Structure 1
Amino acid sequence: MSETEGTDLKGVVRLRIDKVAELGAEATFSPAEKIAKLPWRLEVLKTAGEGQHSPPTLAVYVWCNWLNKSNSWSCRAIVKFIIKSRELDFVRNFEHNFCAKQPFVNWTRLLDPGSSSYSSSHDSKEYEDSSLEIEAQICVKEIIGYGVPTKEDQMFVNGNIFVVNKFLLAAHSPYFRAFFFEDRFRECQTQTFEINDKEVDVDMFGIMLSCIYPDNGKPNGLVFVNF
């Protein structure tokens, strides 16, 4: 990924569903896209109706930065959903503070063979092969509680180098708080740190860092508000 990729405040996430009639309750996810340096993706699944005789619905969810479980941040964005079938398009606009799940189109309007979209019989090949194209046009307006500090420190974990910010790691972990800043630790006087422990899984350590520090900075032109 280039330095500028994912820094734009606007972007599009797309997902194509082939053979819509076979879509079940198991979620289908789009590839992740970077918008405003945050990861975004779509989730689509069939959900039960609210009442006993209510028809099921096609739920389209939009996820932002789903690996970061902290309650201290939010991202305000305007999203335009577009769902395209053979003859019928749905469009919905909304503004939301993410993470968000947004149920969308009534399932039977897309799959009912008697509707204007699908006039063929339920067991026809044309019905079985019907598809949907789902698109979310995202415009990020504000990120709150997510001003990202500069990475200034190097950490070697079993010989693998990670560029980190010791203040951010210390805020998330009592271990790192002691590791970086208690007087009896030599590491508090330097910007280069080493962990040599065969019990430490390097891959999992990298995943942990991506969760608490998911990107290298913030895009230009975006409002960041820190607590």
Structure 2
Amino acid sequence: MSTIRERNKELILRAASEEFADKGFAATKTSDIAAKAGLPKPNVYYYFKSKDNLYREVLESIIAPIMQASTPFNADGDPKEVLSAYIRSKIRISRDLPHASKVFASEIMHGAPHLSPSQVEQLNEQARHNIECIQRWIERKQIAPVDAHHLMFSIWAATQTYADFDWQIAAVTGKAKLADSDYEAAAQTIIRLVLKGCEPEAA
């Protein structure tokens, strides 16, 4: 029974991610989510109680990977290794969870109305920690004296692009859908740009 329950919840969450990403919260109907999941509409309410709860579940499904992506960040770590691992994790999120990533980006752009204060603080604290690590590397002259905040913002923008604009990127590259090799090329390119831009200045 639990296997069926988990399978149905996963189907609904995946369908909800796609619908919310395509239409936004207000325009999305639970009947459309149920139809896309291939389940009766009452199942949506049985498992998630309301559209609001389902939307929050979609957000929570992406917050955990976002938090985990910052695991390598520590002031004593090697900047090249930490930044490379972080960029790869962020690209992997855009590849594996593109719809939930779009929902999260839209939520943030609208002022995070559905995130709890604790979730907002958790995300902000993570960002502050990462930026403090970058600042430590700058002070130790391990990387160039870039603006730590804007370096982080630039990495967010570069990696999030592969979720938000995946259709356009595929169209420009002449592909029906981006392949794993495309995401690998994206990761390598962003890593190269960031690391070259952060090379310590010659004494």
User: TM-score with structure 1 length normalisation?
Assistant: 0.25
Q: Which has the higher strand share?
A: 1
Q: Which has the higher helix share?
A: 2
User: TM-score with structure 2 length normalisation?
Assistant: 0.27
